[in-house]
């Protein structure tokens, strides 16, 4: 109990990409820029989906939830990273480390599951267009979102509690952008091999089951798309699906490298760069990928910008 009390008031040192970089000022500027882009683009997309009635359909409801998760995910990491660098410190308390880990795991896991539900949404829209609004009714959409948050937060809570219960007796330097399980386990002075195996198994399950659902959905979707008689309908379906698959590729590629690739293939420099990618770069790019080629979103943006402060056209 004495050791546990000591651990609770201790701090870790986060040795992230800014501490390892030869050009920290430039990297800091890029992180600030990407964070502002993520906040602005996700915030704008959320506003458009709420304000434009044409976007009040299941596809955009799920997309709004993805934007919310991205906005929260990057806010868990980027502000602290920048503030710590500007203030000349890189410490994080034991409690805040656990909190950051829980939030990152929850948001990352929820996005993982939500992307699978979004693939199913596209499958229903293209394979069963006449019954789309019946199958994807509001109750079903809210159930999808609730399931994503519940399963992700439950898994995150279990892993956070178990990870933080280990005694840490190393240098207390976490060579990573944020508090995550793999780099933190390197500091544990207890036997962690069994837990690492459980973590690996959980990671594979949590990532590969949704990914398998996504691949299955899009295999069926593409089969239906290539049999569409309308060239315009085929192009619109392929455009929507390609945007989603781009986001899926970016997210799952980074997540599988971090949690599925054996630890022997990891090094702190690669992990630091990768952590910036999935916590800061991806949240900034996702809304741009979905909106720049989406006529509905661009139309909603033009509609808003043509109105004055009072809501009248200018």
Domains of the chain: 11-295 (1.20.1070.10)
- Given this model, what pLDDT does residue 313 score? 52
Alpha carbons within 13 A on the beta-carbon side of 210: 28
Give pTM, 2 decimals.
0.87
Q: How far apart are CA 89 and CA 191, in angstroms?
A: 31
pLDDT along the chain (314 residues), means of 10: 46 82 88 94 92 90 94 94 88 91 94 93 89 94 97 95 85 85 86 87 86 88 76 70 81 79 73 85 87 79 69 52
Specify whether the CB–CB gap between 59 and 122 falls below 8 A. Answer: yes
Quick one: how far is CA 279 from the chain centroid? 7
Q: What is the pLDDT of residue 278?
A: 87
């Amino acid at each position: 109990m004495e050791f546990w009390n000591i651990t609770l008031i201790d701090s870790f040192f986060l040795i992230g990409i800014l501490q390892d970089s030869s050009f920290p000022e430039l990297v800091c500027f890029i992180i600030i820029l990407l964070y502002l882009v993520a906040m602005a683009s996700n915030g704008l997309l959320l506003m458009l989906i709420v304000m434009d009635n044409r976007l009040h359909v299941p596809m955009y409801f799920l997309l709004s939830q993805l934007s919310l998760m991205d906005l929260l995910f990057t806010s868990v990491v980027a502000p602290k990273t920048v503030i710590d660098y500007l203030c000349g410190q890189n410490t994080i308390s034991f409690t805040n480390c656990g909190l950051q880990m829980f939030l990152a795991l929850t948001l990352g896991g929820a996005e993982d599951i939500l992307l699978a539900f979004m693939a199913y949404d596209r499958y229903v829209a293209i394979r069963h267009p006449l019954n789309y609004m019946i199958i994807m009714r509001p109750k079903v959409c809210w159930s999808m979102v609730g399931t994503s948050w519940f399963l992700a937060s439950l898994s995150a809570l279990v892993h956070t509690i178990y990870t933080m219960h280990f005694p840490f007796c190393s240098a207390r330097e976490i060579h990573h952008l944020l508090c995550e399980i793999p780099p933190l386990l390197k500091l544990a002075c207890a036997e962690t091999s069994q837990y690492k195996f459980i973590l690996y198994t959980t990671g594979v399950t949590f990532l590969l089951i949704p990914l398998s659902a996504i691949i299955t959905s899009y295999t069926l979707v593409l089969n239906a798309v290539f049999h569409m008689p309308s060239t315009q309908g085929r192009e619109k379906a392929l455009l929507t699906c390609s945007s989603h698959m781009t986001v899926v590729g970016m997210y799952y590629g980074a997540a599988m490298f971090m949690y599925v690739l054996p630890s022997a293939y990891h090094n702190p420099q690669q992990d630091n760069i990768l952590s910036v990618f999935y916590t800061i770069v991806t949240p900034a790019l996702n809304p741009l990928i979905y909106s720049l080629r989406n006529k509905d979103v661009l139309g909603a943006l033009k509609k808003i910008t043509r109105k004055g402060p009072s809501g009248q056209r200018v």
